[in-house]
Amino acid sequence: MIIVPVSTGDTAYDVVVGAGVRARLPDELPLGAKRAVVVTQPGIGVEVDPGVAHERHEIPDGEAHKSLATVEDLCRRWSRWGLTRDDVVIAVGGGLVTDIVGFAAAVYHRGVAVVHVPTTLLGMVDAAVGGKTGVNLPEGKNLVGAFWQPTAVLCDTDVLATLPERERRSGLGELAKYHFLTDADLAALPLEERIAAAVRIKAAVVAADERESTANPRGRAVLNYGHTLGHALEIAGNHGLRHGEAVAVGLVYAAELAHRLGRIDADRVAAHRAVLAADDLPTRVPDDVADDDLVALMARDKKAVSGLTFVLDGRTGVEVVAGVDEADVRAALQAVR
C-alpha cells in the first residue's frame, strides 16, 4: 500500500494506492459523517461498505450522460433522501462517475464532502485526483464544472484485474502524458508504483496551481497535455475512441505541432511515438473526422483565452502556448492522418 498526500493549501487529503484499499473506506470518511450516498453505474460491480447508513444511487453509462441533466437528477435524489452538508457522497466508478459526482457534490448545498473510489486505471491516475470536476455541453467537453477537492481517494488495484482491455489502454494513454511532463520512465515501474508516481506528479502540479491560473503557462494546465485535440476527437464523429486513446493521438499531434513551431526536434517527436507504440496506443486521427470540425472544437477548448491555445513541449519543458496560427494547426493535423 502506498499513501500519497495531496495538499492545496486550504485542503489536504490522502490518495491510497494498493490491493484491497477500498476496505479502508469507513476510516476515510469525514469526521462525524453519519450517512452516505454511494453513486455508481450499472455493470461496474465494485461493492463498497461505508460503515454508516447509506443509499446506493446509479447514473447512466455513456458520455452522453455527462451532463447538467444528470447532475440535476442526482441532486434531486439527494434532496429527497435528505442528504445534508454533514453527510458524504462516495463516487465508485471511472472518470465519468468521479467527474459528475464531484461536480454534483460541489454544488449541492454549496458543497458536500466527497470520497472517490476510482475503478479504472484512467480514474486512478487522473480524474479522481486533484479536485477538477465537470460535465459537458454540446459545444465542448467539461465546459461547466467546479474545483472541489475530495476528502480521500482510494485506488484499489484489485479492481483492475477485471478491467476490459480497451479501458486498460485508455488508462495507459493518460499515463503516457506523465512520461512527457517529467521524462520519468514510468513504464519500468510495477503498476501500483506507476499509479502512485503519476499521482505524485499530479499532486505537485495541483499544489502549485489548484485553480489553473491562465497567467501561469507552466501551471495546472500542463496536465492537459495531449487533451486539446483529444477532447475534440471525443466530441467529433462516432469513431469510438476512449478518452485515453484520444489523448494518445493528441500527444502525438501536440509533438508534431511543437516540431512545426520549432520548439522540439524530430527525435523528440519520435520519442513520443515510441512511448505510445510500446503500449499499442493509437497515433492517428480517424478518417471520419473533418479538419474543419476539429479546428472549430479546439478553438472552443477551455484553455483558449487568446486564439488557438495548446499545451506544447519545448526545450525547457511543457507549457501553455497561446495564439497558435491556424495554418500551423491544420498542417500539423496532416502529420497525424
Report, as residue numbers or ranges, the catalytic residues.
Answer: 110, 132, 174, 202, 212, 220, 224, 227, 231, 243
Q: Is residue 183 packed enough to be buried (19+ CB in 10 Å), middle (13-18) or exposed (0-12)?
A: exposed
Please name the helix (run of DSSP H) or strand (run of DSSP E) that holds residue 311, with its range, or none.
strand 310-312
> Residue 54 — φ and ψ, nearest 5°?
-155, 160
Distance separating alpha carbons of residues 85 and 78, to the nearest angstrom: 11
DSSP letters spanning 140-179? EEEEEEEE---SEEEEEGGGGGG--HHHHHHHHHHHHHHH
Gyration radius (Cα) of the chain, Å: 19
75 Cβ contact partners less than 8 Å away, ≥ 6 residues apart: 104, 107, 108
* Assigned C-alpha cell, 332: 500539423
Which distant-in-sequence residues (6+ apart) come within 8 Å of 275 by Cβ? 176, 179, 180, 187
- The three-class DSSP label of residue 18 is strand
62: CB partners within 8 A, 6+ apart:
none
Tell me how far apart the alpha carbons of residues 135 and 196 are, in angstroms, rounded to a whole number: 26
Instruction: Compute φ and ψ for 317, nearest 5 degrees.
Output: 115, -175
Burial 98-123 (b: 16+ CB within 10 A, else e): bbbbbbbbbbbeeebbbbbbbbbbbb
